[in-house]
A = this chain, B = another copy of it.
């Protein structure tokens, strides 16, 4: 069924993928995306408005009839800020946010599942889980995929597998990715070799908001590149194995930093603490970078007073569209920087810098 909910209500809550911390350490979340298309229609890039409308209608009816509740937004009905808000929450892609008609998204109430309609492919199922839970994310995506497949005729080729708009997704249509916080490797300037190494084994490293986004706040998304010639389980297992290695690298880097130059690490954390607690203006990029250092401080036991989940939510809630939704008004960039700084100062009131007295 479709559950009506305003975006204003949505920003009052936090996606469950941030609420229930599973892992401590560098892993933020795990995500799986499945690309699917319908047999009797052109891919969205070539389909007529009528065809896209038919697909939207079919899927809307399908979700309406499901036992589980889904929220639903059609892009054409949303102002820019609202689309940006869904993007900031990782519920839709930038590509969908830019589309004009007959496309939208169905989202589960816990926000751990989002199905985009008429993005690059007719259907893109994505599931998101806190911590390193790639298998669980894959299973959840697979379940909804099975449900949809019972009602829809997927474009499927016996030899190639699932057919997709972009050849790079043909086969499993699967992209699995993990968001990692790697400040230790960045501080030691070891991310470049890591990125190179990962590229060579068929994985990609991207920024916090996926393809084309910069790695602000030391946040990196690692994902599979190859979707063909490998089973889903194999893809997921391979990624998980590499992520575990990356986690070990990062933990090593942090230990080395603490061993070789503890004062530099403390200074780094203390400065971020001081700026977050006092600044009157704060751009979103700077906020992400300072929050990254604060998170490192929390992981290292140098900062206390709040949970990892509360702090991770700030990565989302300090973004431009969220800020404006919370303020219930359109804000010029300078005004956003003011409101963002205020939000961060309020958050920092409960924070304690444990290295203060050393």
Contact = CB atoms under 8 A, between A and B. Distances in A.
A355 B279 CA distance: 10
Contacts of A334: 263
A347 to B, nearest CB: 14
Nearest to A341: B267
Contact of A281 (B267, B345, B353): B267
Contacts of A280: 263, 266-267, 270-271, 355
Interface residues of A, number: 21
A278 interface: yes
A277 B275 CA distance: 10
How many copies of this chain are found per oligomer? 2
A333 interface: no
Contact of A270 (B264, B279, B355, B356): B279
B266 A270 contact: no
A70 interface: no
Interface string A318-348: 0000000000000000100010010001000
A353 B334 CA distance: 22
A138 interface: no
A45 interface: no
Nearest to A355: B280
Interface string A260-290: 0001101100110111011111000000000
Contacts of A356: 278, 345
Max chain B C-beta neighbours (<10 A), residue from A263, A273, A338: A263
Max chain B C-beta neighbours (<10 A), residue from A277, A334, A341: A277
Q: Which 8 A-B pairs have the closest CB atoms?
A: A274-B278, A274-B274, A267-B280, A267-B281, A270-B278, A266-B280, A270-B280, A274-B275
